[in-house]
């Protein structure tokens, strides 16, 4: 009688572990082989076999080789191609689980990095649309493959996509037109990063006819803003509207004295214009001269003469601003993902604004900067979070700070 076959052994070098929770950066936290593991594309409760991709002793990054038992929140990504390249790194989670993970990541960063207890009422406002929400995108084109799509996470390789399910329908049609041209061999012969934006029309940079990108109008937060695809702008317009409302919730001009608001990293004027409807004077600071020019034109078109734009780096402007604008009633910050540089942070603290609204797209840098501001005589009066980018680990937040000491 033949002996029963032995169960298959796991592949050598694999570690079996259970995902405990999602941590900042979107990784699943687990433990195994004497290490703390950060596992990509994981779901809480997953029992997985992983292979290390980066070993740093007691801490390692890993990728899933086999899902032994899926966690309760794991689903099959509806668009596998965009999930596989990392552009939708949360697409394997149910939408409620995505929101819960973003809440946990923000709370974790506040506690671990900022030594800040998260507000009891902190929640993540969901996006009205879980897919097809982006009105701005950047697609990379590699003529050697050829391939058109997003870059693979941690790589310069282009993930060739048959469609882009993350963007609004108008941009989806633009993407398919680019694919058609790629297949016909009529796109440029060199690699290109196409930037696209949708408003009352489509703006594409570089423009395929060789001219300047088309100017478009986007309606956001009750304002009409002119821009083109070269300018930064928030990608999820319905969520952008509520972020602006939250950012300006405590932006009330003083009953006496200087009625001045400062908008740092102003872009094309998303916050600048609504601030100018509350404050007599608003100074917007934006390093990109193109965006600053659009912001000035948008203020002029909205008949808001109290707006003045400074087209220079925030750090440079802040270096001397305290001499002229010290102790402004309200200051709004909307820095890039890296948060405030040391010199920008010093400049803001030297101004000593009465109130600060800090709009952030990264929990870790927000927590780091809040810790520094709170140590200089401010209190955290409120914090709200928003799902600007469904299907990804990114979370937008707005922190409200008030100065409590005048020394």
Least Cα distance to 373 among 395, 343, 334, 346 occurs for: 346
Q: How far apart are CA 156 and CA 277, in angstroms?
A: 44
Decide: 106 and 363 in contact? Cβ < 8 Å. Answer: yes
Q: How far apart are CA 216 and CA 213, in angstroms?
A: 9
Decide: 68 and 47 in contact? Cβ < 8 Å. Answer: yes
Residue 322 has phi, psi (to 5 degrees) of -60, -25
Q: Quote the tokens at residue 46.
A: 């997953």
Q: How far apart are CA 78 and CA 84, in angstroms?
A: 11
DSSP 8-state assignment for residue 349:
H
DSSP string, 255-277: SSS--EEEEES-TTTTTHHHHHT
Active site residue 159: no
Q: How far apart are CA 91 and CA 84, in angstroms?
A: 9
What residues pair up with 401 in beta bridges, in sequence order? Answer: 356, 380
DSSP string, 303-330: T-TTEEEE-S-HHHHHHHHHHHH-S-SE
Q: Which stretches does DSSP call E strand in 76-215?
A: 124-125, 136-142, 147-151, 158-160, 192-198, 202-205
**DSSP H helix total and E strand total for the chain:** 9, 21
Least Cα distance to 42 among 60, 25, 64 occurs for: 64
Considering the candidates 85, 174, 231, 361, report the single residue annotated as catalytic. 361
Three-state secondary structure readout of 207-219: CCCCCCCCCEEEE
Least Cα distance to 41 among 22, 20, 60 occurs for: 22
Task: Report, as residue numbers or ranges, the catalytic residues.
Answer: 361
């Amino acid at each position: 009688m033949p002996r029963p076959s032995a169960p298959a052994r796991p592949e050598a070098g694999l570690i079996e572990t259970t995902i405990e929770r999602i941590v900042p950066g979107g990784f699943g936290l687990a433990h195994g082989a004497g290490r703390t593991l950060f596992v990509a594309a994981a779901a809480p409760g997953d029992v997985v076999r992983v292979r290390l991709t980066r070993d740093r002793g007691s801490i390692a990054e890993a990728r899933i080789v086999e899902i032994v038992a899926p966690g309760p929140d794991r689903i099959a990504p509806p668009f596998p191609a965009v999930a596989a390249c990392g552009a939708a790194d949360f697409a394997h989670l149910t939408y409620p689980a995505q929101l819960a993970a973003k809440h946990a990541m923000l709370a974790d960063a506040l506690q671990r990095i900022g030594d800040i207890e998260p507000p009891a009422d902190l929640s993540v406002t969901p996006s009205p649309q879980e897919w097809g929400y982006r009105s701005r995108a950047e697609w990379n084109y590699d003529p050697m493959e050829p391939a058109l799509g997003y870059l693979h996470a941690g790589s310069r390789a282009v993930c060739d996509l048959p469609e882009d399910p993350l963007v609004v329908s108008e941009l989806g049609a633009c993407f398919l037109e680019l694919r058609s041209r790629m297949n016909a061999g009529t796109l440029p012969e060199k690699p290109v990063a196409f930037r696209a934006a949708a408003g009352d029309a489509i703006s594409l940079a570089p423009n395929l006819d060789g001219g300047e990108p088309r100017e478009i109008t986007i309606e956001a937060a009750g304002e009409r803003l002119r821009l083109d695809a070269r300018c930064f702008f928030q990608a999820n317009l319905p969520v952008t509207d509520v972020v602006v409302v939250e950012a300006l919730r405590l932006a009330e001009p003083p009953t006496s004295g200087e009625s001045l608001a400062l908008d740092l990293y102003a872009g094309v004027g998303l916050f600048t214009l609504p601030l100018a409807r509350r404050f007599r004077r608003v100074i917007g600071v934006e390093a990109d001269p193109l965006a600053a020019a659009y912001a000035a034109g948008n203020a002029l078109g909205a008949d808001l003469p109290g707006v003045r734009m400074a087209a220079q780096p925030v750090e440079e402007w802040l270096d001397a601003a305290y001499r002229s604008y010290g102790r402004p009633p309200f200051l709004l910050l909307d820095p890039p993902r890296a948060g405030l540089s040391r010199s920008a942070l010093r400049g803001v603290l030297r101004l000593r604004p009465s109130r600060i609204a800090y709009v952030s797209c990264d929990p870790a840098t927000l927590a780091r900067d809040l810790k520094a501001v709170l140590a200089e005589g401010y209190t955290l009066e409120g914090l709200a979070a928003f799902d600007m980018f469904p299907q990804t680990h990114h979370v937008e937040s707005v922190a409200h700070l008030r100065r409590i000491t005048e020394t």
